[in-house]
């Protein structure tokens, strides 16, 4: 869309997370100037790991950051599932075949490393302006321009506004007005610890999930194996909402008390945990209006059980930029964008819930889960890893 490429006012993006920075890069790749407004005083991600499936890697490739991210990523040999009660090994799915099958790897990385790679690429682009300590407070779309006001009294005019402001999106409240996200009743505790604190038998070049009744634990190496990422998830109705606050280890240990020695030993090694109250939303079909569009978690927040939230945000970014190329005006581009995305993101949102039940199965369900998992292959998730529309 030539008018946007020539516009004196860049496209404005609220939020400098993986989604917001991914969107800025995608727009820049297509020749659209963009400005990212981040509410925090610096661009930063939480200190934890993130898994990147082949679809996410192909997006990073299209955004021009694949090589930089690969240098910092760990490429595990296998995805491993264990029974957290008996310690039984259920299955190891080798990852060596991913490149041949999906034209991209499966890898894990420290979030700060992924985020920094995106940030560096944004900083290197003449098309992208980055501003911190700017919280978008309100927007008004008059049909030609979107007028944005931030908490510090600044105001902006933009031909198109993308709200990549995450799970608790205030832009969504105005655009869609469907209330707060759904509290799932699941809590995650996350920690990153030095390899020296990890029991010898768990120092594995693998992404390992231990499945227990109403709980599971995931661990994998980061930064060349110097660090280990640990996520422990369990059912709890103690919290209504919350984000990134310090967790109460007593509750964590109580919820994992029925798991085998090695799982409990690993959990005891952690001195400090951060806690996430996991939330998602029902899928919706329309997440844009006029010249305003949501992207990433603001549009389709999901439980992390398929490790795809960031991947979906990166796919959104590329889709949105392509829609701007294909349409005659911003309104029709923004109308087309969720139409191309909602069935895929909605499927991941709903499938992630099912995977949560699967991981947390008890009794006969657990036996059936174990029997099924023993024959699992990555083909079951090929609908995600094969990607979408060329990515």
Ligand X SMILES: Cc1cc2nc3c(=O)[nH]c(=O)nc-3n(C[C@H](O)[C@H](O)[C@H](O)COP(=O)(O)OP(=O)(O)OC[C@H]3O[C@@H](n4cnc5c(N)ncnc54)[C@H](O)[C@@H]3O)c2cc1C
As annotated, the active-site residues are 220
Cα gap 383→391, rounded to integer Å: 12
Site for ligand X in 304-363 (CB under 6 A): 304, 307-311, 313
Site for ligand X in 215-274 (CB under 6 A): 231
127 or 156, CB closer to ligand X? Answer: 156
Closest CA to 313 of 9, 103, 16: 16
Q: What x/- string results for residues 136 through 175 when contact with ligand X is judged by CB under 6 A?
A: x---------------------------xxxx--x-----
Q: Would you give the distance in Å from CA 96 to the centre of its chain? A: 23
Q: Are 205 and 77 contacting, i.e. CB atoms less than 8 angstroms apart?
A: yes
The neighbouring-strand residues paired with 193 are 228
Residue nearest to ligand X (CB): 309
Our finding on whether 10 is near ligand X (CB under 6 A) is no
Q: What is the chain's Cα-based Rg?
A: 21
Strand order in the sheet with 146-150: 136-141, 146-150, 155-158
* Burial (Cβ within 10 Å: 0-12, 13-18, ≥19) of residue 320: buried
Near ligand X by CB under 6 A, which window of 67-75, 86-94, 303-311, 380-388?
303-311
Q: Give the H or E element holding residue 323.
A: helix 309-326
Residues 6+ apart with CB under 8 A from 274: 46, 47, 48, 189, 190, 191, 244, 245, 246, 247
Our finding on whether 280 is near ligand X (CB under 6 A) is no
User: Closest separation between CB of residue 221 and ligand X, Å?
Assistant: 14
The neighbouring-strand residues paired with 109 are 50
The correct pick among 17, 54, 181, 338 for binding ligand X (CB under 6 A) is: 17
Q: SS3 breakdown of the chain: % helix, strand, coil, rounded to 5?
A: 40, 25, 35
Cα gap 296→345, rounded to integer Å: 9
What is the DSSP pairing of strand 89-94 with strand 136-141? unpaired
169 or 322, CB closer to ligand X? Answer: 169
User: Closest separation between CB of residue 6 and ligand X, Å?
Assistant: 26
Q: Which residue has the tokens 């919350």?
A: 242
The correct pick among 4, 11, 20, 193 for binding ligand X (CB under 6 A) is: 20
User: Closest separation between CB of residue 51 and ligand X, Å?
Assistant: 4
Our finding on whether 19 is near ligand X (CB under 6 A) is yes
Report helix, strand or coil for 325.
helix
The correct pick among 1, 4, 15, 208 for binding ligand X (CB under 6 A) is: 15
Count of residues in contact with ligand X, rule CB under 6 A: 34
The correct pick among 296, 338, 356, 387 for binding ligand X (CB under 6 A) is: 296
Near ligand X by CB under 6 A, which window of 4-12, 27-35, 296-304, 374-382?
296-304
Closest CA to 234 of 209, 208, 252: 252
User: Closest separation between CB of residue 169 and ligand X, Å?
Assistant: 7
The correct pick among 135, 145, 184, 329 for binding ligand X (CB under 6 A) is: 135
Near ligand X by CB under 6 A, which window of 139-147, 280-288, 300-308, 346-354?
300-308
Q: What are the residues binding ligand X (CB under 6 A)?
A: 14-20, 37-40, 50-51, 56, 135-136, 164-167, 170, 188, 190, 231, 276, 296-297, 304, 307-311, 313
């Amino acid at each position: 869309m030539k008018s946007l490429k020539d516009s004196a006012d860049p496209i404005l993006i609220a939020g400098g997370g993986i989604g917001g920075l991914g969107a800025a890069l995608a727009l820049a790749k297509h020749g659209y100037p963009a400005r990212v407004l981040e509410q925090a005083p610096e661009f930063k991600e939480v200190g934890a790991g993130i898994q990147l499936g082949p679809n996410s890697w192909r997006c990073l490739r299209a955004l021009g950051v694949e090589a930089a991210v690969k240098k910092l990523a760990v490429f595990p040999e296998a995805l491993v599932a264990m029974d957290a009660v008996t310690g039984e090994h259920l299955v190891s799915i080798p990852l060596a075949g991913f490149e041949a099958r999906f034209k991209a790897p499966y890898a894990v990385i420290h979030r700060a490393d992924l985020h920094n790679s995106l940030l560096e690429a944004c900083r290197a682009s003449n098309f992208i302006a980055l501003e911190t300590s700017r919280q978008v407070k309100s927007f008004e779309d008059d049909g030609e321009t979107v007028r944005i006001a931030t908490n510090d009294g600044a105001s902006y005019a933009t031909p198109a506004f993308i709200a990549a402001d995450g799970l608790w999106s205030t832009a969504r409240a105005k655009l869609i007005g469907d209330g707060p996200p759904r509290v799932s009743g699941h809590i995650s505790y996350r920690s990153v610890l030095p390899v020296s604190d990890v029991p010898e038998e768990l120092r594995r070049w693998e992404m390992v999930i231990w499945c227990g009744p109403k709980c599971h634990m995931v661990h994998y190496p980061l930064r060349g194996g110097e660090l280990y990422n640990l996520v422990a998830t369990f059912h709890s109705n103690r919290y209504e909402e919350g984000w990134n606050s310090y967790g109460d280890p007593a509750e964590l240990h109580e919820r994992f008390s029925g798991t085998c020695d090695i799982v409990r030993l690993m959990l005891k090694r952690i001195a400090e945990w951060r806690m996430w109250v996991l939330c998602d939303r029902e899928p919706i079909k329309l997440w844009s209006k006029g010249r305003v569009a949501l992207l990433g978690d603001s549009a389709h927040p999901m439980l992390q059980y398929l490790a795809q939230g960031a991947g979906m945000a990166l796919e959104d970014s590329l889709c949105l930029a392509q829609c701007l190329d294909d349409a005659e005006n911003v309104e029709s581009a923004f109308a087309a964008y969720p139409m191309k995305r909602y069935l895929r993101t909605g499927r991941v949102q709903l499938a992630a819930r099912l995977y949560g039940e699967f991981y947390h199965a008890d009794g006969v369900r657990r036996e059936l889960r174990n029997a099924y998992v023993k024959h699992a292959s990555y083909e079951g998730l090929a609908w995600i890893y094969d990607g979408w529309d060329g990515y």
